[in-house]
Amino acid sequence: MTLWFTEKQTSSFGITGKVNRTLESEKTTFQQLDMVETQEFGNMLLLDGMVMTSEKDEFVYHEMIAHVPLFTHPSPKHVLVVGGGDGGTIREVLKHMRVEKVTQVEIDGKVVEYSKKYLPHISSEYENQKVELIIGDGFEHIIKSENRYDVILVDSTEPVGPAAGLFTKGFYAGIAKALKEDGIFVAQTDNPWFKADLIKNAIHDTKEIFPIARLYTCNIPTYPSGMWTFTMGSKVYDPLDVPIDKIRDINGRYYTPELHYASFVLPKFVQNLCE
């Protein structure tokens, strides 16, 4: 018997892949967690039936959420990652030598546990001495923090279940307080084909809170529509003003100095969401 997995990205559209075997399937305190081995994309983490990451294409998301803000900020010493239990974002953050500490707040410890077991290349930096892992609520952590972080990265699931509060104006306002006076935040904000209203609200809310607000994109084949967006809010530094000679080669597979700027060039229909 051939086993196939389908993520229903809308009520009438989805993405399908052949599954060799199921590695884990557990209803955690917060969500349905499945780890499967796929034919095309290797081991894949699913939460509530949605693809979170896979061995084959994970580098795109993790490089883009981390390197764009960390090369924009001239001296990112203390970085907060909200969510991101697979560990890929902190792996990329730690490629920046100026970073002295990475605090990660992940609500579901099972995501970390199974990522260490089945996605070791992605979760490879959890034992790094610069990493502080907190199993807890990222929203609550933000509210309790003030003038603490240089960069905050919101590496969340889609706005359902425990992640719903991470897409609100109140959360972005809390982030602004938790950042230092020249801080930057980036949040993943889904795709413009199926979640246009989410993106429009996120960028508009960010504009009301931060002096600099920008949207940028990348291509991730296992995510809905393949076109993915990130919203950046910055108190001082504009990512388009960074001198290119300040962006070093991180030996990545997606992000490059040239792509740093090109990722902010938006198709017209996406530009319209930002107006």
Active site residues: 155
Instruction: State which amino acid sits at residue 230.
Output: F
d(CA 179, CA 171): 12
Closest among 95, 40, 98 to 73, alpha carbons compared: 98
d(CA 91, CA 54): 15
**Which pair of tokens denotes residue 193?**
């084909």
Task: Report the length, in residues, of the chain.
Answer: 275
Across 122-263, the runs of DSSP E, i.e. the strands, are 131-135, 149-155, 179-188, 212-219, 227-234
Residue 137 has what DSSP assignment?
-
**Which pair of tokens denotes residue 187?**
């949040």
Q: Give the Cβ contact number of residue 120 at 10 Å.
A: 13
d(CA 253, CA 258): 13
